[in-house]
């Protein structure tokens, strides 16, 4: 395996500045294209005619395509947001995902031979003359390796490293001059976010790294029959060519096709969102580019969940154990409207600067998040919240840490994808039940700490309202998804009786003693809630079905 490609922003910027014959023509090309793009967007606000709108969207598509990979990636992100982009534009912008103009087939064959050491004719039993899809970084062929074994062969576009290196450096030059005029308040985070974007693109064009990502990702979901990951053919993979098993499925943005094929859309959405949450909050390794071109619905179900397949593992990222656990706690604090703790979570994650007086932040968060959350979990909308946070950044010391750029992109893309299938979808309505079930299982010391914070106050009194909220969410979620309550009940009981549950048992005993006397009021309330959620008859029925 060759040495991985490294992103070096200072070196790349110095290289571009010392080569004005590269810098100046590209600067002029981008400036004129962006000007035309702004004119089109302004025109969109005045003329609502369908023909004009389609024409404007096609012009935007053409401009972004001509500008190359970096700008196509921006368009791809926009194409997953039906709440940001007009639906008539949306359908056209989805072409940026895998319906771009292909490059020369002869050139692709030349790259295959140079990279793999033999011609496509020698390596494959059958190799087509035309690619089946063309995306921002490469094009894909459906080839036959042997027998009836079909594979996807992705060949990288020529000159890609040069283009990305040049354009990322140019974007940094642009932001240096116009960054202060942008309607953003990211502090020093803007350059860091651009560097994060550049780093991810450099990693994405290294197909050997992508192969490693695919294998690692597959191992994480090896026990999950609802998730399919293609198999990497290492003998036919190099830095510029990657070969994997072929996936037969339906793109997740093709709602009509899904309905025709009898695919349960709600179960597909649920699988996609839960797998995304698992990646962030459980595995710490996530797919950072979950657009419709990279996710397919498969027929059938597994354990009540719809089946999906992930492809294209170039843009992946990791989240630290510390950040992962703080995020989990933040979800719990958000649902319980514990805004003082949420402020601390934001500070730990880097969204709020340390050393600042945060006493005024909790009421602001309550004003922004409390109203959006309403009385029910399902009323939360991630897009509305991000909009409100954008406004807050002007008046309060909020900033976006660079390491969260891809995480936010992944969550936004995931929510956008689900919204296209179901306009009423609320991401937190799926996220919190998953977190709640993990809390009740208390499968790590950190999860146990969060659970204890939910159950007990500082005086060891039971927080019955929070416990009821937790149990109601689990009960409501299991009724929607046909998930059995028995495994949840078993996990909770196992925790209570385990060595790790010692502190939980101790705290429960302490609730019996208040003001120097024995009282069972709180404990009776807890047992009543447990009985209400885990109905004995329902659990007995499930036991009989095993």
pLDDT digits (tens, 9 = 90+) for 483-525: 556 666 677 777 777 787 787 777 777 777 666 555 677 777 7
> 396 in the Ramachandran plot: left (φ > 0), alpha (ψ -120 to 50) or beta?
beta
* Range with lowest mean pLDDT among 285-289, 297-301, 342-346, 494-498: 494-498
* Range with lowest mean pLDDT among 219-223, 270-274, 366-370: 366-370
Sheet strands side by side (includes 295-302): 227-228, 305-310, 295-302, 250-251
Q: Is 289 a catalytic site residue?
A: yes
Average pLDDT of span 66-92: 70
CB-based contact 192:402 (threshold 8 Å): yes
CB-based contact 404:197 (threshold 8 Å): no
Count CA atoms closer than 13 A to 282's CA, side-chain side.
Answer: 17
Q: Whose CA is closest to 71, among 141, 174, 153?
A: 174
Mean pLDDT, all residues of the chain: 79
Give SS3 for 521: helix
pLDDT score of 257 more than 80: yes
For the chain, give the longest Cα–Cα distance: 86
b/e for 23-51, b at 16 or more Cβ within 10 A?
A: beebeeebeebeeebeebeeebeeeeeee
* pLDDT tens by residue, 21-35: 999 999 999 888 888
CB-based contact 137:163 (threshold 8 Å): no
pLDDT score of 185 more than 50: no
H or E segment at 245?
strand 241-245
Identify the active-site residue in 12, 195, 206, 289: 289
Whole-number percent of the chain with pLDDT over 70: 77
pLDDT for residue 187: 44
pLDDT for residue 287: 92
* pLDDT tens by residue, 32-49: 888 887 777 676 666 666
Alpha-carbon distance of 106 to 155, in angstroms, equals 12
pLDDT for residue 518: 59
Q: How confident is the model at residue 399 (pLDDT cuts 50, 70, 90)?
A: confident
Average pLDDT of span 103-128: 95
Strand 285-287 relative to strand 316-318: parallel, antiparallel, unpaired? Answer: antiparallel
CB-based contact 96:65 (threshold 8 Å): yes
pLDDT for residue 375: 46
Alpha-carbon distance of 145 to 131, in angstroms, equals 16
* Range with lowest mean pLDDT among 4-18, 153-167, 426-440, 530-544: 530-544
pLDDT score of 143 more than 90: yes
Between 386 and 5, name the one with better pLDDT: 5
H or E segment at 66?
helix 50-67
pLDDT for residue 424: 75
CB-based contact 244:152 (threshold 8 Å): yes
pLDDT for residue 117: 94
* Range with lowest mean pLDDT among 360-369, 484-493, 500-509, 534-543: 534-543
* Dihedral (CA of 174, 76, 278, 218) sign: negative
Between 542 and 58, name the one with better pLDDT: 58
pLDDT for residue 80: 57
pLDDT score of 229 more than 90: yes
Q: How confident is the model at residue 122 (pLDDT cuts 50, 70, 90)?
A: very high
Average pLDDT of span 297-306: 87
* Dihedral (CA of 535, 541, 545, 546) sign: positive
Q: Which of 65-74, 271-280, 331-340, 482-491 has the highest mean pLDDT?
A: 271-280
* Dihedral (CA of 417, 421, 424, 428) sign: negative
Distances (CA, A) of 159 to 39, 411, 479: 30, 31, 53
Residue entry with tokens 């009323």: 379
pTM for the whole structure: 0.79
Which residues 6+ apart lie within 8 Å of 196 measured at CB? 402, 403, 405, 406
Whole-number percent of the chain with pLDDT over 90: 24
Average pLDDT of span 115-120: 95
């Amino acid at each position: 395996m060759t040495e991985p490609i490294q992103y070096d922003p200072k070196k790349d910027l110095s290289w571009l500045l010392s080569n004005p014959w590269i810098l100046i023509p590209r600067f002029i090309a981008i400036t004129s294209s962006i000007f035309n793009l702004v004119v089109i967007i302004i025109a969109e606000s005045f003329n609502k005619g369908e023909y004009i709108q389609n024409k404007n969207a096609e012009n935007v598509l053409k401009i972004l395509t001509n500008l190359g990979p970096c700008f196509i990636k921006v368009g791809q992100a926009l194409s997953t947001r039906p709440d940001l982009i007009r639906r008539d534009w949306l359908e056209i912008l989805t072409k940026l995902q895998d319906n771009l103009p292909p490059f020369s087939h002869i050139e692709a064959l030349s790259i295959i031979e140079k990279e793999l050491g033999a011609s496509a004719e020698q390596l494959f039993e059958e190799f087509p003359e035309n690619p089946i899809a063309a995306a921002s970084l490469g094009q894909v062929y459906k080839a036959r390796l042997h027998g009836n074994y079909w594979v996807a062969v992705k060949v990288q576009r020529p000159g890609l490293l040069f283009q990305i290196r040049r354009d990322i450096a140019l974007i940094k030059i642009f932001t240096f001059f116009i960054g202060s005029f942008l309607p953003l308040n990211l502090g020093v985070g803007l350059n860091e976010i651009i560097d994060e974007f550049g780093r991810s693109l450099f990693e994405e064009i290294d197909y050997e790294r992508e192969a490693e990502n695919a294998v690692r990702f597959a191992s994480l979901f090896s026990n999950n029959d609802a998730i399919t990951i293609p198999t990497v053919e290492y003998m036919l993979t190099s830095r510029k060519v990657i070969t994997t098993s072929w996936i037969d499925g339906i793109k997740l943005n093709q709602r009509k096709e899904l309905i025709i094929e009898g695919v349960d859309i709600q179960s597909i959405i649920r699988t996609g969102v839960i797998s995304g949450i698992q990646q962030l909050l459980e595995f710490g390794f996530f797919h950072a580019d979950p657009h419709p071109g990279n996710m397919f619905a498969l027929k059938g179900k597994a354990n009540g969940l719809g089946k999906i397949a992930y492809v294209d593992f170039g843009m992946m990222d990791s989240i630290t154990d510390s950040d992962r656990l703080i995020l989990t706690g933040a979800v719990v604090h958000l649902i319980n409207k514990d805004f003082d703790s949420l402020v601390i979570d934001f500070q730990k994650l880097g969204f709020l600067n340390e050393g600042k007086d945060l006493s005024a932040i909790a009421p602001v968060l309550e004003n922004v998040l409390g109203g959006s959350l309403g009385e029910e979990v399902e009323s939360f909308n991630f897009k509305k919240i991000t909009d409100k946070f954008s406004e807050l950044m002007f008046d309060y010391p909020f900033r976006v840490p660079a390491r969260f750029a891809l995480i936010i992109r992944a969550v936004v893309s995931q929510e956008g994808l689900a919204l296209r299938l179901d306009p009423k979808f609320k991401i937190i309505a799926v996220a919190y039940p998953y977190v709640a079930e993990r809390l009740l299982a208390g499968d790590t010391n950190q999860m146990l700490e969060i659970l204890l914070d939910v159950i007990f106050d500082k005086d060891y009194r039971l927080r019955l309202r929070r416990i009821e909220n937790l149990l109601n969410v689990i009960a409501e979620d299991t009724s929607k998804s046909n998930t059995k309550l028995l495994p949840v009940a078993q996990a909770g009981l196992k925790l209570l009786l385990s060595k790790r549950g010692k502190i939980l048992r101790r705290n429960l005993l302490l609730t019996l003693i208040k003001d120097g006397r024995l009282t069972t009021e709180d404990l009776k309330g807890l047992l009543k809630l447990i009985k209400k959620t885990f109905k004995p008859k329902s659990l007995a029925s499930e036991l009989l079905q095993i």
